[in-house]
Amino acid sequence: MTEMVLKVGETLILEQEKGISEKKRYRCRITEIRESTLLIDYPIDEQTGKTPIFQNGTPLVANYILNRQAYRFDCVFERRIPGRIPMMVLAYEGKESLARIQRRNFVRAGANLDIAVHSRNGDFPPFVTLTSDIGGGGALIILPEGTGLKEDQEITVWICLPGNSGENRYVTFNGKVVRVFTDKATNWERASIQFEVRNERERQPVIRFCFEKQLEQRNKSIHFQPDRYHRQ
């Protein structure tokens, strides 16, 4: 890779492994680019809205979108830099370490969407709930009490996707329950579900929704903090 695709002011999504099957995601912005390090503002947990506490040497995976292309690279939290605008230093192996990835494997959005969940084998009664996170590959849903949902169950879901024009679009997927767990931050029970598709075109409405959601969040942040990265 010969071009420098990272840009100051753009958003990074940091992922941290928190156990065998748990992953945390944090949103931050690039404030300065150096040969083998990046300076970022303090990351925000996408679920809790709080700033995480990293130990020096914590390994992370950074995800980055530019011009509708997604990139991914390994990095390490190095240290904090105090100041009027506190920052963090991430060490990485430079521009050559950035790898292109398929958008469907990366783009996710935190969103409370209406979702109806049905068992394909009659294992539990149908129920309606909300997503808390969705992407082209699946969704994280909030579980009401007494659903009877268990891991590895085969399901069918109907999801309502709001559009920019104000019209809703309804999509349906067959899927599988990957994990059922209790969210420590909220004490709510949640389930991670994986979509099963016959072709990649079926994912496109969800991918488009997630991408538009991320652009909307980025534009809002730029609107409210126009001079943050240009002050001395």
Whole-number pLDDT of residue 131: 94
Q: What Å distances lie between residue 83 and 19, 88, 143, 225, CA to CA?
A: 33, 11, 42, 18
Domain with CATH 2.30.110.10 in the chain: 11-101
The yes-or-no verdict on residue 132 having pLDDT over 60 is yes
Domain with CATH 2.40.10.220 in the chain: 108-215
pLDDT in tens, 37-51: 989 999 888 777 888
Cα 60 from chain centroid (whole Å) = 14
Q: Is the dihedral of CA 217, 37, 81, 55 positive or negative?
A: positive
Among 3.50.90.10, 2.40.50.140, 1.20.810.10, 2.40.10.220, what is the CATH number of 108-215? 2.40.10.220
pLDDT in tens, 11-45: 888 888 765 456 788 889 999 888 889 899 998 88
Whether pTM > 0.75 for this model: the answer is no
The yes-or-no verdict on residue 229 having pLDDT over 50 is no
Token look-up 């830099």 returns 81
The yes-or-no verdict on residue 1 having pLDDT over 80 is no
pLDDT in tens, 178-201: 999 887 777 889 999 999 988 777
Between CA 135 and CA 225 the distance in angstroms is 27
Please say whether the structural domain 11-101 has been given the CATH code 1.10.510.10. Answer: no
